Amino acid sequence: MSILSVDIARRYLFGKKSTNSINIITGISIFGISIGTAALILILSVFNGFEGLLSGLFNAFNPDLKVIPYEGKFFNLPEETLLQINEIEGIASVSKTIEEVSLFEYKGSKEIGTIKGVDTNYINVTRLDSLVISGSYILNKDNIEYAIIGAGLRKKLTLNVQDRITPLTVYMPQKKQKIIGAKEFIAKDLYPAGVFSVRGETDYQYLITNINFVQNLVDQENSYSALEIKLSQKGNSDNIQAKIKSILGKDYKVKNRYQQDEAYLKVMEIEKWFSFLIAGMTMLLIAFNLVGALWMIVLDKRKDISVLKALGYDSSEIKSLFLNLGFLITLIGIVLGFILAIVAYYLQKNFGIIGIPEGFLIDSYPVRLKLKDFGIVAITVISIGILASFLPANKASKENLVLKSQV
């Protein structure tokens, strides 16, 4: 890319044309590229916003690390093994938890959800007590079983937290019927002490109580379904994850925050790039305007092309000149598109100009800009621009015009 070739391309772009229609077509192509660029940036920013929102919701309930068995629902580790895990440098707290799907009933209202039993260390791992929006974080007091319930599940059951007289009944299927004709369900009562909210699906699913209550309910004395681990500020997640795996062996999975919701986040990532691909395909259609603009400029500058060839320009240099022209048009469109995207981002972030229907967690689409997205979009649009410029540039390089001398 010679400096002279770029300078000539710049003059062709901004210089006077023989007809005004060429300027109009060139302007339309720049406008189309800028709109397409802005659309690509905003598509990625919306998915980034949802990803950040959902990750935040997951993180409010998920521990830093979680140990679960490869097979079965429940397990029991020797005290020596638990002590080894607790002594790993970088681990702040370890909590035993057990959970199972069950049926809840309150004053005739019935809902299926998940009952989760936790030990006294659980609030140190997740700080769930700070997410209680009504009532108190009480799981057992004076030999009375209490629970805190997700805000969504409380709404479905129309449960009154202040009512300490009416219990909430939990039904669990019998694993084995010890006596013929015995009831198929175990039913136990507890009292709602508080309501928590992490503003996610968890609110509609979980009821939290003490671990002993759930162990008795599912007939799994001294067993649990997970170890939930809180790391200190200096704790390295990858290193500690590897150390726990070496202690427990191959029979257990040790998941970090991302891996605990890996399937869901991967689906969102696929949707994000699939949407980007569709928008990128739309950019190919927009690029036809660029083809038309360059083609008109080639026809308009046929005499100039013959002069350049007479001065010693070969076909490859002519081709390079018009590729540079296409690159300049694309570059201007990208810069304008970035400006449009940043303005739209600011308006959406601060004023929520595009809202979300009622019933969702937020009122407007979340947006989040990432610097790397600008690079990805720039490379994509420039590639499309160069591809669109190739045909007109190739046409210009094959022009065989001869200057006629005037006597």
Closest CA to 396 of 312, 275, 299: 299
pTM of the model: 0.71
Q: What is the pLDDT of residue 179?
A: 54
Q: Do 68 and 99 contact (CB within 8 A), yes or no?
A: no
Q: What is the mean pLDDT of residues 234-258?
A: 93
Residues paired with 163 in a beta bridge: none
Judged against a pLDDT cut of 80, whether residue 3 lies above it is answered with no
Q: What is the pLDDT of residue 176?
A: 61
Structure confidence by residue, pLDDT tens digits, 155-166:
999 999 888 889
Q: Are residues 134 and 213 in the same domain?
A: yes
Buried b (16+ CB within 10 A) or exposed e, 360-398: eeeeebbbbbeeebbeebbebbbebbbebbbebbebbbe
In a domain, 81, yes or no: yes
Q: What is the pLDDT of residue 60?
A: 66
CA angle 14, 333, 16 (to 5 degrees): 15
Q: Are residues 86 and 213 in the same domain?
A: yes
pLDDT bracket for residue 395 (50, 70, 90)? confident
Side-chain-side CA neighbours of 124 within 13 Å: the count stands at 13
Q: What is the pLDDT of residue 401?
A: 54
Average pLDDT over the chain, rounded to whole? 87
Q: What is the pLDDT of residue 382?
A: 93
Domain boundary among 234, 259, 284: 259
Structure confidence by residue, pLDDT tens digits, 266-304:
888 888 888 898 888 888 888 888 888 888 888 877 878
Number of domains in the chain: 2
- Say how many residues make up the chain: 407
* Alpha-carbon distances, residue 349 vs 46, 137, 227, 344, 354 (angstroms): 11, 35, 38, 8, 10
Residue 88: domain span: 63-259
Q: Are residues 39 and 147 in the same domain?
A: no
Structure confidence by residue, pLDDT tens digits, 336-358:
999 999 999 999 999 888 887 66
Domain boundary among 233, 259, 285: 259
Q: Please provide residue 362's backbone torsions phi and psi, each rounded to the nearest 5 degrees.
A: -130, 165
Q: Are residues 241 and 280 in the same domain?
A: no
Structure confidence by residue, pLDDT tens digits, 67-118:
999 999 999 999 999 999 999 999 999 999 999 999 999 999 999 999 999 9
In a domain, 404, yes or no: no
Q: Are residues 390 and 350 in the same domain?
A: yes
What whole-number distance in Å separates Cα of residue 234 and Cα of residue 229? 14
pLDDT bracket for residue 361 (50, 70, 90)? low
Q: What is the mean pLDDT of residues 352-370?
A: 79
Q: What is the pLDDT of residue 259?
A: 85
Q: Are residues 152 and 173 in the same domain?
A: yes
Q: What is the pLDDT of residue 332?
A: 94
pLDDT bracket for residue 407 (50, 70, 90)? very low
Q: Are residues 74 and 143 in the same domain?
A: yes
Q: Are residues 33 and 94 in the same domain?
A: no
Integer-rounded Cα radius of gyration of the chain: 33
SS (H, E, C) the chain: CCHHHHHHHHHHHHCCCCCHHHHHHHHHHHHHHHHHHHHHHHHHHHHHHHHHHHHHHHHHHCCCEEEEECCCCCECCCHHHHHHHHCCCCEEEEEEEEEEEEEEEECCEEEEEEEEEECCCHHHHHCHHHHEEEECCCCEECCEEEEEEEHHHHHHHCCCCCCCCCCEEEEEECCCCCCCCCCCEEEEEEEEEEEECCCCHHHHCEEEEEHHHHHHHCCCCCCECEEEEEECCCCCHHHHHHHHHHHHCCCEEEEEHHHHCHHHHHHHHHHHHHHHHHHHHHHHHHHHHHHHHHHHHHHHCHHHHHHHHHCCCCHHHHHHHHHHHHHHHHHHHHHHHHHHHHHHHHHHHHHCCCECCCCCCCCECCCCCCHHHHHHHHHHHHHHHHHHHHHHHHHHHCCCCCCCCCC
Q: What is the pLDDT of residue 269?
A: 85
In a domain, 30, yes or no: yes
Higher-pLDDT residue of 116 and 198 is 116
Judged against a pLDDT cut of 70, whether residue 399 lies above it is answered with no
Q: What is the pLDDT of residue 62?
A: 86
Higher-pLDDT residue of 102 and 14 is 102
Lowest model confidence (mean pLDDT) among 193-207, 220-234, 295-309, 369-383: 295-309
Q: What is the pLDDT of residue 185?
A: 83
Q: Are residues 30 and 142 in the same domain?
A: no
In a domain, 402, yes or no: no
Domain boundary among 225, 259, 293: 259
What whole-number distance in Å separates Cα of residue 214 and Cα of residue 192? 15
Q: Do 334 and 378 contact (CB within 8 A), yes or no?
A: yes
In a domain, 152, yes or no: yes
Tokens encoding 154: 């409380």
Q: Are residues 269 and 238 in the same domain?
A: no
Higher-pLDDT residue of 184 and 39 is 39
Higher-pLDDT residue of 134 and 179 is 134
Q: Do 326 and 26 contact (CB within 8 A), yes or no?
A: no
